[in-house]
Structure 1
Amino acid sequence: MVDPAVCSTGLLIGNSRWHWAEFQADRWHFDHSLPDLSRLEITPPVWAAVGPVPETPFLNTVRRLTLADVPVEGCPPWLGVDRALGAFSAWSRSIEQQLDRRAGVLLADAGTVLSLTLLDSAGGFRGGQLIPGLRMQLQAMAAGASGLDLPALDVESPSLFPRETDAAMWRGALQALVGALGEAQRQCGALIWLCGGDAARLKPELIRAGLHVRCDPDLVMKGLVDLIPMISPDPDH
């Protein structure tokens, strides 16, 4: 267990949302919000960023986790720290759970973009794929095709071929992600870990397609929490 005396708050600054970890009642709790500077004043966090970083004295650079802090070999300098944290977390938990890693580990982070990150059998970075996520696909269809409006969030249909336009858009976007992830796994044979905001929505579709998936929506933040002890609690050191 992480010593809360080191730091009781973690933050990942995303492109549109902030992802929080807070140590309360002997365990870590995770939540997600729009950018909120007021929360920074309560407890300065250990933090990482893939989105725009606001100018504030409460984000001390000494407490920042960067790609260089994440123990995954072979990461190129352009790799987002969120992908590295998620891959590290998936690999660590695969070891803890004694899962078969002979073909490597494939992390699927289902957020704004579905990012696939492949680790080899030794836990080193192999490469990945970036695929438009569910809402990005729907927004692109609504913006680029005449007669298609952005569908509501509750129009999904269990049918593979819905009759209604909104449900058909949802089904097509889901099937695109299921197909991409299924083909990626077929090619590499790696153990799949699924995380991200759309993980719960995507998991049953992947299972229905015959894929065995380990799912933890907070996998990236758990990776950040695991690395908090690396950061000094004293910003002067």
Structure 2
Amino acid sequence: MNIVVDSGNTYAKIGWFSGDNLLRYQTMLSFPDLIQLIKAELPERIMYSSVSRSTAEFLEALDEEIPVLNLSGETPVPIRKEYETPQTLGADRVAGAVGANWLFPESDVLVIDMGTCITYDLIDREGAFQGGLISPGVRMRFNALHTFTKRLPLFDPENNPEFIGKSTKQAMQSGVMNGMLAEIEGIIERYRNKMPDLRVVICGGDIPFFESSLKPPIFAVPELVLIGLNRILTYNVALQ
């Protein structure tokens, strides 16, 4: 059994795999909870990807003799990177791209990851990561409205707000949520104008706010990054 870890800016996700099969996964984990889960069921190998905690910090906390592969810009991956600054490419974006290419081989795929930021990444049918867009995520937009004004309060996102807000709260909810939906649909449309057979895959913690509102066909794969991390792990084991 392998374990893969995606440690984000706020919380961590963990997946348990047998070969290519995802057995189960958990999200919204604190760092101590993550370490406790791993210690409770020690795997053969661990794939570790983090934008917040170093591998050294992870290994010190784990304190177990288990092979750990850290995903960095130097880690071999089973896709090509047609990106001008690959050293700045986020590990979660790479893992999502690998996962999408694994699930939809020989297809043009747009991965939309709805997290702290919302990222749009294109992997072409030749298995090349072409790049994409980075935009503020839902909570970042609410925080910006609150932080850079004197009177606008801070709100949490809500599902399906009315388009025409009748109060400051409703107007902010509509501006952020409907504005973000319009952004997502507009970007998908522009890609599909160039690639009619494009597959669109969404992942990330904010999927529930938008999944039911997006025009099909859209594939929701919440565990996409974990699938990609496991694919990178098995790819590197095969290279040894």
| Identical-residue share of aligned pairs (%) | 24
TM superposition shift of 1:180: 2.3
TM superposition shift of 1:201: 1.3
Report SS of the residue matched to 1:63.
strand
Q: Confirm or deny that 1:132 pairs with 2:136.
A: yes
| Cα distance change on mapping 1:52 and 1:61 into 2, 3 Å | farther
The residue that corresponds to 2:47 in the other structure is: 46
Q: TM-score, normalised by structure 1?
A: 0.80
Q: Confirm or deny that 1:220 pairs with 2:225.
A: yes
Report SS of the residue matched to 1:116.
strand
Aligned length in residues:
216
Query: How big is each residue's C-alpha offset from its partner over 1:147-205, in whole Å with a ceiling of 9 and x where there is no partner?
Result: 2111144x444421121322322221122322222222222223211000011211122
The residue that corresponds to 1:29 in the other structure is: 24
The residue that corresponds to 2:195 in the other structure is: none
| Cα distance change on mapping 1:199 and 1:157 into 2, 3 Å | closer
1:1-237 correspondence to structure 2 within 5 Å? 4=1, 7=2, 9-23=3-17, 27-32=22-27, 33-36=29-32, 37-42=35-40, 43=42, 45-53=46-54, 55=57, 56-57=59-60, 58=62, 62-67=68-73, 68-74=75-81, 75=83, 76-95=86-105, 101=107, 104-153=108-157, 155-189=158-192, 190-207=198-215, 211-230=216-235
Report SS of the residue matched to 1:69.
coil
Query: How big is each residue's C-alpha offset from its partner over 1:49-103, in whole Å with a ceiling of 9 and x where there is no partner?
Result: 22222624337774223343322202522111110111111122123xxxx83xx
What amino acid maps onto 1:115 in structure 2? T
List alignment gaps of at least 5 residues for structure 1: none
TM superposition shift of 1:23: 4.7
What amino acid maps onto 2:77 in structure 1? V
Do the aligned partners of 1:62 and 1:231 also contact (CA within 8 Å) in 2?
no
TM superposition shift of 1:143: 1.2
Do the aligned partners of 1:46 and 1:231 also contact (CA within 8 Å) in 2?
no
| Cα distance change on mapping 1:165 and 1:90 into 2, 3 Å | same
List alignment gaps of at least 5 residues for structure 2: 193-197
Q: TM-score, normalised by structure 2?
A: 0.79
- RMSD of Structure 2 on Structure 1 (CA): 2.6
Do the aligned partners of 1:193 and 1:216 also contact (CA within 8 Å) in 2?
yes
Do the aligned partners of 1:11 and 1:48 also contact (CA within 8 Å) in 2?
yes
| Cα distance change on mapping 1:88 and 1:23 into 2, 3 Å | closer
| Cα distance change on mapping 1:62 and 1:38 into 2, 3 Å | closer
C-alpha separation between the residues in 1 aligned to 2:188 and 2:160?
Answer: 26
Do the aligned partners of 1:21 and 1:30 also contact (CA within 8 Å) in 2?
yes
